Structure formats: C-alpha cells, structure tokens
Amino acid sequence: MKTLLVTYHSMTGGTEQMVRALAAGAAAEDGVTTRLLHASDARAADVIAADGYVFATPENLAAISGLMKDFFDRCYYPALDRINGRPYAALVCAGSDGQNALRQIDRIATGWRLRRVAEPVIVCTHAQTAEEILAPKAIARTDLDRCRELGATLAAGLAMGAF
C-alpha cells in the first residue's frame, strides 16, 4: 500500500475545498491511501513515512501561508536526505497569481530532492480587498475538477510505480 500525504493549510476554506476534491480523485485508486494532514498537525515522521506528497496552501501576502512555512521549518531537516526522489505536486489558492507561493514550495521541494510530477493547480479567486480576502471562498466546479484529476493522476502513478 502506497501513501499520498496531503499537507495543507486553509484560512477561508478555498484550499481545503481543493484538497478534498484532490482526495476524492485519489480515493478511486486501489493500493493508495491518502492522508490529509493540516499543516499544524503534520510531523517529520509523516513526511518520511509517505511515498508521495501534495503541498497545498493559500497565497498570503504573495507567499505560502505561515502555517505551511511552519510545517516546512519543523520537518525540513529531519526529513532531509530521507525522502530523495519521491514525487510531489502543489495546490495554491491565490488572490492574485499564486506564482511566488508556488516558487517557495518548489524551492523547498528541490532542497528535499523531490521531483514535481504534475503541473500545479493554482486557483485564482481575484480577491483583492480586505473583505474579499477574508471572506469564505467557494471554488468553482471546473477548478475542483482539476484538483480531482490531479489526485487521480498522482494516485494512479503511485499505484503503478511510475513515480
């Protein structure tokens, strides 16, 4: 049995909706267990025990969220050189473009010597005012479908041993 670890943080529900859709897509694949862990609950042992990863974050101030940064800070060195070559993908729920948050994830994953095996899913909510940014999010069905497809692809790849 392979394990896909999905570590996430969500402030307004957008990222969590994306993660749940991804998990639904992954659930259809036999031989793969998907573990959803909030960034504050994830530990280095969880990272080391997994066969593949999805890192999911809102874009906050053009960066990954503070709790995702905390997760990486706590887990980076204990997992370093113990997870080389494993696959990962990323989800970003952004108010603008999400590119800097993605760059941060990619840089950390490069340090861990992970390999990105799928294009990231970035959902832009276009929230620009304080009220829009803090409001609960409703992610469009087409975007949730993209997350679901990514989950199915990752789980199938893990199950087949493709990555």
Burial 18-53 (b: 16+ CB within 10 A, else e): bbbbbbebbeebeebbbebbebeebebebbeebbbb
What's the pLDDT band for 81 if we cut at 50, 70, 90? very high
The model's pTM: 0.97
pLDDT digits (tens, 9 = 90+) for 100-109: 999 999 999 9
- Token pair recorded at residue 29: 């694949």
Share of the chain above pLDDT 70, in %: 100
What's the pLDDT band for 16 if we cut at 50, 70, 90? very high
Report all structural domains of the chain as residue ranges with CATH numbers, in order of start: 2-160 (3.40.50.360)
CB-count exposure of residue 3 (10 Å: 0-12, 13-18, 19+) = middle
AA identity, residue 10: S
pLDDT digits (tens, 9 = 90+) for 28-57: 999 999 999 999 999 999 999 999 999 999
The rounded distance, in Å, linking the Cα atoms of 74 and 78 is 8
